[in-house]
Structure 1
Amino acid sequence: MKLTCNTPRKGALAHIVATLTAIAVVVALPAAAQTVTRSTTSAADLAATAQGPDRSQLGVYYRQLEQRLVSQGNLRQDRNAGALDAATLARNFMAIAMRTEYGSGMSGSGSAAPLRRWEQPIRIGVRFGASVPAAQQRSDQAALTRVAQRLQRASGHPVGLTNGAANFHVLVLSDAERANAGPVLQQMVPGLSRNATRAVTRMGRNTFCMVIAIPAADPNQGIARAIAIVRAEHPPLMRQSCMEEELAQGMGLSNDSPAARPSIFNDDEEFGVLTRHDELLLRMLYDDSLRPGMSPGSVNQHIGQLAQAVLARG
C-alpha cells in the first residue's frame, strides 16, 4: 500500500506557507494484499459538521495561499513549457516512477521501488461530502472527467468516470468530513491499515491532497485500488492541481523530484497542471516494454531508448 501526499517541504512554497497566518504520496507501507469492495455509503453519511468551504477559516487560508502563489508566478497553467531531451526525460522517469515519495512508516526516505502501474482499466468513482454545494459538485465532476480523458490520452490506458463499481475513489471532503472519514475508508478498503487511515483523517492543513494506491496481491498485476482525497476548501487552481497530480500519481508516478521541470511533480508548486513532460512520463510508464514489478535496475537498462522513442512520437 502506498500513499502520496502533496505537502510543501522546502523552497518558496514552504516559505509562503510558514508566513501565512494560521486560520488553517507514495508512502511505502507493508504490501499486504487488500480486498476492496464498493462502498454504498451515501454522501450524507460523510459527517457534514463543517461550514461550507467559502465560509470556513481553512477556505480563507487556502485562498490566501493561492493568491500568494499566483502573484509569485506559481500554479502555472501552461502545459507546453520548454524543450525536453531524452536524457532529462529518462532521468526524471527514474526519479518519479521508480522511487517512493516516503519510506516505510512515512520517514521521507524516498527509497527506490519497483515499477507500479495499473493493468486493469481505471474506473473512477467520485464521492462528495455533504458540505460541497451542488454547483461545485457539478463543476468538480466535469473537471475530473477532463482529467480522466487527459490521463487516458497520455498513457494509452483506459481511464474514465463511472457510476458503477469503482476501483479508483476520489473523495472531495471538508476538513471535518475528512477527519471523520475512517468508517467510509474502511468500507471502501476493508482492512485498510491504521497508518493509511490516520494519514487521511489526520491530514495537516499543509498537506493539500493525498492518494493511496493499493497493490494487487500479485505484484505483477500492478495497482488494484486507489483512493484520492481532495479538500473541499480549495480554491479553483489548487483544486485543479490536486485533481491532476493525485490522479496521475495514483496511476504510478508516485514520487516528486525537485529536479523535475517543467513538471507538476515538484513540490515548489510552479506548475498547477500536468505538463507535456508529465504526460510523456505517463506514456513511458504504460509502454508495452515495461511491466509491473520491474526493478529500477531492469528499467534503467533501456529507459533512455524508451525516452527517445516517446519524444520522437511527439
Structure 2
Amino acid sequence: MKSFVLFLALFSMLYTLPAAAVDPAVRWQQPEFILQAFKEVALRNEYSLQGRMVRRWNKPIRVWLDHQVPDAEVHTSLVNMHLKHLSEITGLSIKTVSRKQDANLIMVFTKQSLWKRQVSELFGKRAEKIVHGAVCMANFRVNGRHEIDQAAVIIPVDQARMHGKLVTCIVEEITQVMGLPNDSDKVFPSIFNDRTPETLLSGLDYLLLKLLYQPVLKPGMTEEQALPLLKKVISEWQSDGTIQSAHKIVKRGELYPLLGY
C-alpha cells in the first residue's frame, strides 16, 4: 500500500511540473527575463569592450538620408515610419532633415561595391574587418557624459535585398543606435537576436526601448545603479498590464499593417 501511495505522489509530481513551467511563447514577459534582456542588449556591445553603463540620446535626433542608389522615395518612407514609431515609444523628437550639417544621425543607402569604403569613411579603418558577414551596419558615438551625440547607419541596398532584409536593416540598425547596440541569442523574440525571424520590433523590443528612456535612468549609470531602478519599473508594468499588452501596443507602428502584421 505504501508503495502504491508513493507511486501516486511521484506520478502527481511528474505530471504537474509542465503546468508550472513558463510557456516559451510568453517567457519574454517574465520580469527576470526582461531585466536580463536589457543587460544583454543595452549594457553590452558586440564590437567593443565598452558598455556596462547606460548610453542614450538626451537631445532631439535629426536624421539625414544619403541616397546613393535608386528608390529614394521608398527608403525615405520606410525610415520615416520607423522614426515616428521610435519617437512615440521613447518620447524623443526624431525627424529627418534636408541638410547633412543639421543632422546627428546619418543614414547611407548605398550599394555593395561601395560598402567597405563607406564603412571606412564613417566608422574608421578598423571597422572594415567586421564588414565580412554583415548585411548592414550602424555605430554611435558618446560624449563625456555618455550621451549619444552622433550616429550613422549604412545599408548596402542590393546586399540587403538579396538577403530579404532591407526593412530589417532599417528597423534594427536605427533601433540599435538609440542605445541598444548588442545582439544576443539570449534575447527572444527580438530584432536583436540574429537567429529569430523578427523583421519589426517585438513586444520585448518595445519594453527594452521604453526602459532605456525611462526618466529614472541617466546616461552613464552603471549596471549596479540602473538595474534596481528598472526592476521597480518592470514590477509596476507587470501590475498595470503594460508587459502583457506590449505585443499588441507595438503593432500600432505604421510598418506593421504595411507588412501584413
Give the drift of 1:309.
3.0
Encode CA deviations 1:37-77: one digit per residue, 9 max, x unaligned.
xxxxxxxxxxxxxxxxxxxxxxxxxxxxxxxxxxxxxxxxx
1:194 aligns with 2:120: no
Q: Does the residue aligned with 1:180 lie in a helix, a strand or coil?
A: helix
Select the residue among 115, 118, 122 that pairs with 1:181.
Answer: 118
- 1 CA distance for matches of 2:193 and 2:208? 14
Is the 8 Å Cα contact of residues 142 and 150 (structure 2) preserved in structure 1? yes
Q: CA deviation at 1:282?
A: 0.5
Correspondence 1:76-87 to 2 at 5 A: 82=26, 84-87=29-32
SS in 1 for 2:235: helix
Partner Cα separation in structure 2 for residue 88 and residue 268 of structure 1: 18
Deviation of 1:113 after TM superposition, in Å, equals: 2.1
Which letter maps to 2:56? R
Conserved 8 A contact 2:118-2:154: no
| Cα distance in 1 between the residues matched to 2:185 and 2:115 | 29
Q: 1:229 to 1:289 in 2, by over 3 A?
A: same
Q: Mark the CA change 1:181 to 1:258 in structure 2 (over 3 Å): closer, same or farther.
A: closer
Which of 138-147 and 158-167 deviates more? 158-167
Alignment of 1:248 with 2:185, yes or no, is no
Structure number having the greater helix percentage: 2
Of residues 273, 283, 288 in structure 1, which corresponds to 2:215?
288
How many Å apart are 1:194 and its aligned residue?
3.1
Q: 1:313: Cα distance to partner? A: 6.1
Partners of 2:39 and 2:190 in 1: CA distance: 14
Residue type of the partner of 2:152?
I
Counterpart of 1:7 in structure 2 is none
1:107-118 matches, within 5 Å, as 112-118=51-57
User: Cα distance 1:313–1:237, how it changes in 2: closer, same or farther (>3 A)?
Assistant: farther
1:62 corresponds in structure 2 to: none
How much has 1:270 moved relative to structure 2? 2.0
Q: Report runs of 4+ in structure 1 exceeding 6 Å deviation.
A: none
1:162 aligns with 2:88: no
* In 2: Cα distance, 1:243 partner to 1:228 partner: 8
What percentage of aligned pairs have identical amino acids? 25
Please state if 1:211 is matched with 2:156.
Answer: no
Quick one: which amino acid aligns to residue 100 of structure 1? N
**Paired residue for 1:226?**
151
Mapped partners of 1:265, 1:276: distance in 2: 12
Instruction: Tell me, in whole angstroms, the C-alpha distance in 2 between the residues paired with 1:92 and 1:162.
Output: 33
Unaligned runs of 5+ in 2: 1-24, 243-261
Q: How has the CA–CA distance of structure 1 residues 310 and 243 changed in structure 2, closer, same or farther, with 3 Å as cutoff?
A: farther
The TM-score with structure 2 as length reference comes to: 0.74
- Give the length in aligned residue pairs: 212
| 8 Å Cα contact 1:112-1:296 kept in structure 2 | no
Q: 1:101 aligns to what?
A: 46
Does the 8 A contact of 1:211 with 1:250 survive in 2? yes
Map of 2:6 onto structure 1: none
Q: Deviations over 1:11-59 (max 9, x none)?
A: xxxxxxxxxxxxxxxxxxxxxxxxxxxxxxxxxxxxxxxxxxxxxxxxx
Residues 65, 76 of structure 2: 8 Å contact kept: yes
Cα displacement string for residues 112-162 of structure 1 (whole angstroms, at most 9, x for unaligned residues): 521100011111111011xx22xx211110000001011111111111212
**Aligned-partner Cα distance in 2 for 1:126–1:209:** 15
Q: CA RMSD in A?
A: 2.2
Q: Give the deviation of 1:310 after TM superposition.
A: 4.0
Distance 2:97 2:185 in 1: 34
Please state whether the residue corresponding to 2:56 is helix, strand or coil. coil
Separation in structure 2 between the aligned mates of residue 183 and residue 264 of structure 1, nearest angstrom: 25
| Counterpart position of 1:47 | none
One-letter amino acid of the structure 1 residue matched with residue 54 of structure 2: L
**Does 1:127 find its partner at 2:72?**
no
What's the TM-score, normalizing by structure 1? 0.62
Give 1:44's aligned residue.
Answer: none
Shift of 1:254: 1.1
Q: Where do residues 20-39 of structure 1 align in structure 2 (5 Å cutoff)?
A: none
Residue 80 (structure 2) aligns with:
145
Residues in 2 aligned to 1:257 and 1:180: alpha-carbon distance in whole angstroms: 27
